[in-house]
Amino acid sequence: MNPNRWIACAIAGALALALSAQPPQQTKGGLARDPGQAPRKGTINVQKAAFGRLPDGAAVDLYTLSNSNGMRVGILNYGGIVVSLTAPDRAGHYADVVLGMDNLEGYLHGVPYFGALIGRYGNRIGHARFTLDGKTYTLPKNDGDNTLHGGIHGFDKHIWNAHETGDGLELAYVSRDGEEGFPGNLTARVVYTLTPQNELRIDYSATTDKDTVVNLTNHSYFDLAGAGEGDVLGYQVTILADRFTPIDKGLIPTGELRPVRGTPFDFTHSTAIGARIGQNDEQLHFGRGYDHNFVLNGSGMRKAAEVYEPKSGRVLEVLTDQPGLQFYTANFLDGTIHGKGGKAYPFRGAFCMETQHFPDSPNQPAFPSTELKPGQTYHTVTVFRFSAR
């Protein structure tokens, strides 16, 4: 080897070693870096592999993003589904902390939105209808009398156009005027970015050619002990919300913004999920546990929540610019779904932190508006940051 080449190789080797030796980032409570800022490029690897074919023959691909710490995130172009995500424990061991299925077939039959992108409207629209500009739009009912997560064929059940960005994956989907009852051709774009700081950043944007409503989110089910390792009742949760939106028995917000103080919904100080979940509380009965939208304090990009798993030491911080967060403790899981590696996913065997506008906003004039008009761009950012302590 000529000496110049040898020196170049040695420098590259030393650099790779230095990067791989970086310890997992520790949580300090505050923001280490403005999460709105684009992450550094060049240290993220993206690999593409075939994942299967839909019944109509469409090819589904799995994109795996990895950083030099060892964090890996697997994402499908089908539904933008996050199929796997590894995070470090306090000893630096990475484990897969999201529920998911081993193959495409698993995702096609009755899986409750594991890891998927949700649209055009995340969570419920009451009585499956809303009125916009004086016109009433009727939507398909897929949750009793209501529409849940965009209807029968929501954004989670479509192939998105995918392309690699260098440090992540950009997905695009055009939802046609009238699709699932919603007005306007909506062009949606979601960019998943993995950062060197063990964050998965999700940028959502959308434009329309007619007045419409939009509320996009991601429906990852997290289990910080490792997917399929039991229930999450011992996990310590903080949600930076002084109020939540109580629901009726159909899980539709009543319109009230109720203070959490003195209720089992007060997570303003770190509290175990299971500490109060069994209390005789009407709201907990309606949700079969926690399945509620929290009214996040403040505005702009800020910390919304933190979850700590005491055994592994894993920490998830959630940052968002959205007004709400659906905290859902997987009360509809019952052990009958066998996910990755054949593991059963039990009752309350995960939690979801769905950053969003409030459920049923199109029917609730006092809630922050979810309307999008031609010429406007919907843009929102959520960051899931992983560390250990």
Q: Could you give the angle at the alpha carbon of 257 between the alpha carbons of 183 and 201, nearest 5°?
A: 60
| Closer to ligand BGC by Cβ: residue 113 or 367 | 113
Q: CB of residue 127 vs ligand BGC: minimum separation in angstroms? A: 16
- Give me the residue whose beta carbon is nearest to ligand BGC: 112
| Closer to ligand BGC by Cβ: residue 13 or 144 | 144
Asked if 354 touches ligand BGC (CB under 6 A), the answer is yes
| Binding test (CB under 6 A) with ligand BGC, winner from 112, 140, 255, 274 | 112
Asked if 332 touches ligand BGC (CB under 6 A), the answer is yes
Interacting span for ligand BGC (CB under 6 A) from 12-20, 22-30, 41-49, 325-333: 325-333
Looking up tokens 């967060």 gives: 325
Catalytic residue selected from 149, 158, 219, 292: 219
Interacting span for ligand BGC (CB under 6 A) from 50-58, 184-192, 239-247, 324-332: 324-332
- Show the 3-state SS of the chain: CCHHHHHHHHHHHHHHHHHHCCCCCCCCCCCCCCCCCCCCCCCCEEEEEEEEECCCCCEEEEEEEECCCCCEEEEECECCCEEEEEEECCCCCEEECECCCCCHHHHHCCCCCCCEEECCECCEEHHHEEEECCEEEECCCCECCEEECCCCCCHHHCECEEEECCCEEEEEEEECCCHHHCCCCEEEEEEEEECCCCEEEEEEEEEECCCEECECEEECCECCCCCCCCCCCCCEEEECEEEEECECCCCCECCCCEECCCCCCCCCCCEEHHHCCCCCCHHHHHHCCCEEEEEECCCCCEEEEEEECCCCCEEEEEEECCCEEEEECCCCCCCCCECHHHCECCCCCCEEEEEECCCCHHHCCCCCCCEECCCCCEEEEEEEEEEEC
Tokens of 165: 């960005």
Interacting span for ligand BGC (CB under 6 A) from 93-101, 234-242, 257-265, 326-334: 326-334
| Closer to ligand BGC by Cβ: residue 89 or 156 | 156
Q: CB of residue 57 vs ligand BGC: minimum separation in angstroms? A: 28
Give the torsion through C-alpha atoms of 363, 369, 374, 375, to 10 deg.
180
Q: CB of residue 354 vs ligand BGC: minimum separation in angstroms? A: 5
Whether 269 is catalytic is: no
Asked if 328 touches ligand BGC (CB under 6 A), the answer is yes
Asked if 326 touches ligand BGC (CB under 6 A), the answer is yes
| Closer to ligand BGC by Cβ: residue 121 or 182 | 121
Asked if 291 touches ligand BGC (CB under 6 A), the answer is yes
- Residues from 122 through 141 that contact ligand BGC (CB under 6 A): 123
Q: CB of residue 330 vs ligand BGC: minimum separation in angstroms? A: 8
Catalytic residue selected from 306, 309, 317, 354: 354
| Closer to ligand BGC by Cβ: residue 123 or 238 | 123
Q: CB of residue 215 vs ligand BGC: minimum separation in angstroms? A: 11
| Closer to ligand BGC by Cβ: residue 139 or 388 | 139
Asked if 247 touches ligand BGC (CB under 6 A), the answer is no
Asked if 223 touches ligand BGC (CB under 6 A), the answer is no
Asked if 251 touches ligand BGC (CB under 6 A), the answer is yes
How many binding residues for ligand BGC (CB under 6 A)? Answer: 9
Q: Is 79 left (phi over 0), alpha (psi -120 to 50) or beta?
A: left
Asked if 317 contacts 237 with a C-beta cutoff of 8 angstroms, the reply is no
Whether 354 is catalytic is: yes
| Closer to ligand BGC by Cβ: residue 230 or 250 | 250
| Binding test (CB under 6 A) with ligand BGC, winner from 63, 78, 107, 113 | 113
Other C-beta atoms closer than 10 Å to the C-beta of 135 total 9
Residue 14: exposure state from Cβ atoms within 10 A (0-12, 13-18, ≥19):
exposed
- Residues from 86 through 105 that contact ligand BGC (CB under 6 A): none
Catalytic residues: 219, 354
The contact set with ligand BGC (CB under 6 A) reads: 112-113, 123, 251, 291, 326, 328, 332, 354
